[in-house]
Amino acid sequence: MPISSRFPRWAGAAVAVATLAGTLLLPTAAATAGPAEHRAGPSAVDEQIGFILSKQLDSGAILSTGTRISPYFANIAALGLLAADTPAARAGTLRWMTWNLAHLNAAGLNVPANSVFDYIYDPVARTETPTGDFDSVDSYASTALNVAYAAHSSTDPALRSFVRRNIGVYEAIADLVITPAPTGVLVETGPDAGLTIAKPSYPIAFTMDNTEVYAGLVDLAKLETSLGRHPEAALYASRAAATKSAMGAELWNVANDNWDWAYANPSSTDVFYAQGTAQLWPIIFGVVTPNDPRARAGWAQFVASFPRWFDGALPDSYPWVAVARAAQLMGEPAQAAAFLEGVHTRYAPGFALPTTCGAAVCGQWYDAEAGWFLLATTASLESCRIPGAPVRARSDGRCA
């Protein structure tokens, strides 16, 4: 995405899969090293479900900041709702998924078919107007695939039915990241072949985007398998493997022992976004496992650059709750819990602008941060789950 963006969509972006065999999209006990220690337990889960649903319009769209509708942010929010796994959360997810598929674009100049624009909501006229642009094509598409898989993996019959009925549409969305222009944004030839660019009008292959592409394709492959569509599953699994291979060959910087933040753009992790954060996304999205030397090196450089990250000392106006998820995966649950508690303390109870943050002007709470908060909190509560019950089965936010 354009680094010049004042409000980067990476102010809180997506969780996905670790391997082709097992997803981390809806966190499991194996994804964390210990129980939750922060006070933001089940009540905070309810709080964030309520926050996201309060931003949902009658149409099913979910507002991000102000009057903007960002499908990428809403996809992250939906993943959080699915992790929370309550009837209201699942119903809100279905309404969002319905809106998203109803607003896919026809092909146009620099607009691949089945991409989706950002929209602006007019609260007086109650209208939603497309901006005619998107922050990216690849990440919007791939996180929609994450949502589809997570929704079908739920026990909710309405969600499962919706995904089954629309599997062809999700395959068309996947075409955006597995085909070159003008159909998609895959780089077909040249030194960066195999990666995806953010969008036709901004042909940069970002590390963070490509990790999400990998995760989306892995999830689609597993979705196809669950539907008995084995040739399609094999196709998307092979495309995921190709993305992972291209990332290792073209985005891992051997000399710097870290991930370039974009193709041919080396990272100095002292720069928080997108150079420091680029070290976390391959961990969160399963391009590398936590014990991979590249995961350890990237995490170590991030921590060395921002040693008090868990105290809310990140040099950005937004909280970046996704960092807690990376910490959980890297075996630092206590620091992650401290981070979540600190974020909650700064923003609660109104979840508006906090008084302190890592920048002179603090960024507001919005749908994707709430989604990340739900993903991280439910991950730390997962070991408390009673079989067959949602993660909210304990009243105090700690394992018994």
262, β-bridge pairs? 206, 265
C-alpha distances in Å from residue 233, one per residue of 121, 228, 246: 37, 9, 20
The predicted pLDDT at position 39 comes to 45
**What is the SS3 assignment for 339?**
helix
The predicted pLDDT at position 2 comes to 36
pTM value is 0.89
Of residues 118, 114, 206, the one with CA closest to residue 166: 114
276 pLDDT more than 80: yes
C-alpha to C-alpha distance for 81 and 62, rounded to whole angstroms: 12
Q: How confident is the model at residue 358 (pLDDT cuts 50, 70, 90)?
A: confident
C-alpha to C-alpha distance for 135 and 149, rounded to whole angstroms: 23
More confident residue, 254 or 33: 254
State the average pLDDT for the chain: 88
CATH fold, domain 9-393, is Glycosyltransferase (1.50.10)
More confident residue, 361 or 297: 297
The DSSP bridge pattern shows strands 127-130 and 119-122 to be: antiparallel
The stretch 182-198 carries a mean pLDDT of 97
More confident residue, 38 or 58: 58
Q: How confident is the model at residue 37 (pLDDT cuts 50, 70, 90)?
A: very low
In contact, 330 and 297? CB cutoff 8 Å = no
The backbone torsions φ and ψ at residue 4, rounded to the nearest 5 degrees and listed phi first, read: -75, -5
C-alpha to C-alpha distance for 292 and 241, rounded to whole angstroms: 17
pLDDT digits (tens, 9 = 90+) for 51-66: 999 999 999 999 999 9
Of residues 352, 211, 350, 347, the one with CA closest to residue 282: 211
Q: How confident is the model at residue 20 (pLDDT cuts 50, 70, 90)?
A: very low
pLDDT digits (tens, 9 = 90+) for 277-313: 999 999 999 999 999 999 999 999 999 999 999 998 8
Domain borders along the chain are: 9-393
Residues in the chain: 400
